[in-house]
Amino acid sequence: MSRVNIWLGFMPAYFTKHVGVTYGEAYYFDLAYRADVMRAESRLLHEQLGDFGVAAAPRPIPHLFIQPIDLMLHTQGAPWRFPDDATLESVGAPWATLSSAEIAAIDPRSSAEHPVMDRLLAQYREIARHYGDAADIFMVKSGMMNIHTPYTTAHQLYGEELFVLLLTEPETARAIFAKVWELYQAIYARVLAVTGTAFDRIYLGDCSASLLSEAVYRERVLPVNQRLATLYPDSGYHSCGLSTHLLAAFSALPGLRHIQLGAGTDMAAAARLLPGVVLEPLIDPVLMREGAPDDITRLIAGIIDDTATAPGVNLCAWSFDRDTPLENVRAMYAAVGEAGQKVGY
């Protein structure tokens, strides 16, 4: 039986409810403010789950992270909204009104040299002054290029009409994907120059993958993902929707070492079709909120049984909202322990 880790992540609203912290723009651009919020988060988690080893040493994390897709959207014109009790939100699809020629003409420097990049890199330098080599931005110090795939990013930049292009104008869709990749390369080239690091693996977040049929995914999206994965020895992949119908296609990703799969995905099939790959099932946040502890115990035990042949299992216990009962979270940890696994955090 493989070792099982739990990667725990509550929504900001959970901490707003329980300890009164707020987030807003300061959380992303004020280092001292973010450190105070992180300490409050860690203290709460240690009080609630410390007996499972959670947040054993409450402290701020010297990393700066914004989702790649939000960074791309903002540098291409989408405004950001900063709720007090939620993560930042990108508003709109900035490429929706652009022609294919206008998209092709976009200069990658429009993203790489955007003022928000100046602000974020300045903050990284400030973090480095306090934390030295432990400082990180966008997780580049891990050696991993962390992006959303050109397809998923294009879906957010261009909007729902992208699905029409995939079927009727696949060459136009591919040109949009190529432009997205150019922009990501430009952004990360600047970040790597500042941090003095290099990539040896890639992580592809494909949040929109499960919206496609297997046939469309294989023909229109998989070849792009395969080309990017071949650039590095190792790759990771994320498909946060129900993805059973795409598992066989995912097995064609070169160098795949770990994969995150949405709630409801057949994990026994994943273990069979993706041998040698670390499986990272996303735990259903709705069940965590609305179910009973016994429901959680059965869910976790079933996942552990289904993934018994995998070399490793990381339970992605994320996006738990403000009303998630603590007893359900404790039941999740207890179920892992009862299965004889070592609980990680």
pLDDT of residue 57: 72
Side-chain-facing half-sphere of 180: CA atoms under 13 Å: 29
Question: Distances in Å between the alpha carbon of 322 and those of 6, 161, 285, 288, 325?
Answer: 19, 34, 11, 11, 9
Residue 57 lies inside a defined structural domain of this protein: no
Residue 119 lies inside a defined structural domain of this protein: yes
C-alpha 229/C-alpha 210 separation (Å) is 19
pTM of the model as a whole: 0.95
pLDDT of residue 341: 62
Q: Please answer whether residues 148 and 69 qualify as being in contact, where contact means their C-beta atoms are separated by less than 8 angstroms.
A: yes
Residue 169 lies inside a defined structural domain of this protein: yes
pLDDT of residue 56: 76
C-alpha 177/C-alpha 150 separation (Å) is 5
Domain count, the chain: 1
pLDDT of residue 58: 66
pLDDT of residue 340: 65
pLDDT of residue 343: 55
pLDDT of residue 60: 72
pLDDT of residue 1: 40
Both structure tokens of 173: 């869709």
Question: Distances in Å between the alpha carbon of 83 and those of 12, 92, 96, 123, 324?
Answer: 10, 16, 25, 21, 20
C-alpha 134/C-alpha 132 separation (Å) is 5
Residue 147 lies inside a defined structural domain of this protein: yes
Both structure tokens of 23: 């987030």
* Farthest-apart Cα atoms in the chain, separation: 58
Residue 105 lies inside a defined structural domain of this protein: yes
Residues spanned by the domain of 184: 62-199
C-alpha 135/C-alpha 137 separation (Å) is 7
Q: What is the pLDDT along the chain (345 residues), one digit of tens a residue?
A: 448 999 999 999 999 999 999 999 999 999 999 999 999 999 999 999 999 989 877 677 899 999 999 999 999 999 999 999 999 999 999 999 999 999 999 999 999 999 999 999 999 999 999 999 999 999 999 999 999 999 999 999 999 999 999 999 999 999 999 999 999 999 999 999 999 999 999 999 999 999 999 999 999 999 999 999 999 999 999 999 999 999 999 999 999 999 999 999 999 999 999 999 999 999 999 999 999 999 999 999 999 999 999 999 999 999 999 999 999 999 999 999 887 665 554
Residue 335 lies inside a defined structural domain of this protein: no
Residue 72 lies inside a defined structural domain of this protein: yes
Residue 290 lies inside a defined structural domain of this protein: no
